[in-house]
A and B are shown apart, each in its own frame.
Chain A
């Protein structure tokens, strides 16, 4: 009897670009394969389903614009997460940081003395700040007291969700909304322009693309980025070289939370124009952004691609729901499967499996 594995496992300390891309594509393929069983179990032919998904995401100008619209918050939040993950800070709290951005935008639009021409920049500024400050709580807790970042960032999401609910049902409940738990509508000066008749609020998209470039440069070409890479890869070498873990943690979370906050500003000022139930403001963009950053293998430029990809899944998922009558949770199933296979495939990236020659 064979008591050992039929292959030999050796470490691959520095996987090449080819390996990373191949393994990532393999993971996606596996996720789609497993998802077809889900379709099949629902009595839907997987091929029909994937055709509908594809059409829903890329079938025409409207479909494509819906894909881009979904990709915008994923891009902003995803780029922010990349920088946190690069420093080994596991920010699971982009969802809450995004909601804080929507709160800040609402305050600027409805309750602040900001003059109308300055409203849009003020919304992005305060949205960034709100998301940052929200993210600083776990940053300080982790770097000063060693409290687990995954738990604190995740728990902060629920506080943010309930904060929004409290505001729309209480102090910020709109006077002209027929008793619905919405804030009042934003004034026109606080609404972002969209491309033609689509929902693509282009300013946020531009901010996202520029941020991806800037963060790429920050990580790879600057001294603070160098500290992020060193501390994220070998904290004790960083300490030995005199770097401050506290300072770097605070910096990455400031940027990470701020980016998610701006994603929230884009959603509320570009699409909804009012504060409302958190599950309507964000379709779990903050969580999906984790997968976006992961699939991009922590490269901010690759986030542009992966955000678009997940935008397509959101848009296509919408189409599945409408044209095939599948439950809307189908998008979550997709996202879950993809993350599952992505993380599972890490071992294929970091280790090499070679078949043993037959004895």
Chain B
């Protein structure tokens, strides 16, 4: 019974500093044996940093970690693995041209020289069966879905004898079904004597899966509690530091003229397969049209066709009544179309340049930011400062390079920049993806405000709650086809779910 009293892991005043920030500030809490322990906090709260310390990727500046009561120096991932700690990173670390087995073999030292794959395959199938982690061992990584890749990562950790598994935001890449499945696996693992540390910023998941939860805010531990004795409201308050409204206040939709009209457009994806198949819809002034669908059903291609980044092979795109089919991104932007891109780091900002430079990415050729050929950096800086203030971007100053910002702050900057150009149409792809509750709420309210001001908004999102709470009408797409276009208050979540799975609206039993 002694084991019960000695915690599995004990963090004792762990401090980690990065230039200009304290990522972990005197972090102390305990993880008990045989539990799923959630680490909850907004982006930039220090969750991942703390776990990277536990996994030996970072070294704390001060403080100690005790493993089963023993003070432990974890100075490398190798050491962490020896100690039975495994980590599944948010961005998978797999070699995509290699098979599952080869990825598992990578870095293993005790593999037989003669027939290594057979040995691994046998053990792999055994492990997979035990925890419900089915995946084809001979498949190449690139052929796998995000959920399957994650299973490979988990299997790799288990193969190396992980007793403590750290999962960093594991559900951010999963469909609802895959998430359910992952939770099943995790419960199975705990029953089988393993321990799970689960990093997340989603309250529902904490409530659903974990036994205990530690809330981090700005690098400090706010509280550690039993999930059974708390609720979402309390947790969100601790996480954000204030009350969060789950139901957005919204005014009735006041529809005006059509701003965007899409007539039968078709487009191909990068692999040359039809991704957008004869889609037609329109978005009018003062309306949010939500596009719902499971990831990879043509959402990205649709946004790219509409913003001039991808060719439409047939059909027409009318913006403000003007035919802009296959116009250049600049011509489309000139029609006051703002675009919040899907991949904010790759498409939305230039990391090495300052915030000022990033703030004018779309309007650097317009007055007053430039006259003729010359950029007026005094004006640019003033404007950037206004933007930072108005959109609550947390950053030391306008000269800070954009790659030092957290995801939420980058998104606020992008949205601020796009909205400030006085748009008629906003195309927003996954605007709150990966953001914490506080930032997501701000972004959603911003979009609603734009709609109230008469802007047409096309919202593309995989977050069904977001789509249903924001949109006035909802278009559901499946394999590039429109399954149905419905008014928000004339449908249910279940119906949308059915359409997302490929049932046409007409075929629904209503």
Contact = CB atoms under 8 A, between A and B. Distances in A.
Interface of A: 3-5, 8, 10, 13-14, 221-224, 226, 229-230, 233-234, 236-243, 354, 356-357, 359
A84 B78 CA distance: 43
B349 A242 contact: no
A71 B488 CA distance: 71
Interface in B343-361: 346-353, 357, 360-361
Nearest to A238: B350
Interface string B323-352: 000001111110000010100001111111
Contacts of B374: 221-223
Given A4-B79, A234-B346, 9 more contacts: A4-B76, A14-B401, A226-B364, A229-B350, A230-B357, A234-B349, A239-B329, A240-B307, A240-B348
A238 B329 CA distance: 10
B61 to A, nearest CB: 10
A237 B78 contact: no
A223 B371 CA distance: 9
A357 B59 contact: yes
A240 B365 contact: no
A233 B352 contact: yes
B350 A237 contact: yes
Contact of B375 (A10, A226, A240): A226
A14 B403 contact: yes
B309 interface: yes
CB-based closest 7 A-B pairs: A242-B330, A4-B76, A242-B329, A240-B347, A234-B350, A14-B401, A222-B373
Contact of B78 (A3, A226, A356): A3
Contacts of B18: 10
B351 A13 contact: yes
Contacts of A222: 370, 373-375
Contacts of A5: 76
Interface residues of B, number: 41
A51 to B, nearest CB: 42
B375 A356 contact: no
B378 to A, nearest CB: 11
B377 interface: yes
A8 B57 CA distance: 8
Contacts of A230: 350, 353, 357, 361
Contacts of A8: 58-59
B75 interface: yes
B397 to A, nearest CB: 13
B68 interface: no
24 contacts: A3-B78, A14-B352, A14-B403, A14-B404, A221-B375, A222-B374, A223-B365, A223-B375, A229-B357, A230-B350, A230-B361, A233-B353, A234-B349, A234-B352, A237-B349, A237-B350, A239-B309, A240-B341, A241-B333, A242-B329, A242-B331, A242-B333, A354-B59, A356-B59
Contacts of A229: 350, 353, 357
A3 B353 contact: no
B226 interface: no
A221 B330 CA distance: 21
Nearest to A13: B403
B348 A237 contact: yes
A359 B357 CA distance: 44
B73 interface: yes
Given A3-B76, A221-B374, A240 B351 contact: no
Contacts of B332: 242
A237 B346 contact: yes
B255 interface: no
Given A3-B78, A221-B374, A223-B370, A241 B329 contact: yes
A240 B352 contact: no
A14 B19 CA distance: 11
Interface string B63-85: 00000000001011011000000
B404 A13 contact: yes
A222 B347 CA distance: 22
A9 B431 CA distance: 33
A318 to B, nearest CB: 40
A224 B373 CA distance: 7
B347 A359 contact: no
A4 B404 contact: no
Given A3-B78, A14-B403, A221-B375, A240 B58 contact: no
A222 B333 CA distance: 21
Contacts of A13: 351-352, 401, 403-404
Contacts of B349: 234, 237
A3 B350 CA distance: 37
Nearest to B347: A240
B334 to A, nearest CB: 8
Which residue, B78, B328, B361, B401, has most C-beta atoms of chain A within 10 A? B361
A233 B351 contact: yes
A85 to B, nearest CB: 14
A173 B18 CA distance: 66
A240 B309 contact: yes
Contacts of B75: 4, 356, 359
Nearest to A14: B401
Contacts of B333: 241-242
A356 B78 CA distance: 15
A19 to B, nearest CB: 11
Contact of B347 (A3, A224, A237): A237
Contacts of A10: 18, 58
B289 to A, nearest CB: 22
Nearest to A230: B350
A45 to B, nearest CB: 44
B361 A221 contact: no
Nearest to B18: A10
Contact of A234 (B328, B351, B362, B370): B351
A239 B59 CA distance: 39
Nearest to B76: A4
Contacts of B403: 13-14
Contacts of B58: 8, 10
B376 to A, nearest CB: 9
A235 to B, nearest CB: 10
Contacts of A224: 373
A158 B349 CA distance: 40
Given A13-B401, A222-B373, A359-B75, A241 B361 contact: yes
Nearest to A12: B19
A236 B375 contact: no
Contacts of A221: 374-375, 377
Most chain B CB within 10 A, of A222, A224, A234, A359, is at: A234
Nearest to B369: A223
A5 B76 CA distance: 8
B418 to A, nearest CB: 11
Given A223-B370, A230-B361, A242-B333, A236 B346 contact: yes
B344 to A, nearest CB: 10
B358 to A, nearest CB: 9
Contacts of B404: 13-14
B339 A233 contact: no
A314 to B, nearest CB: 33
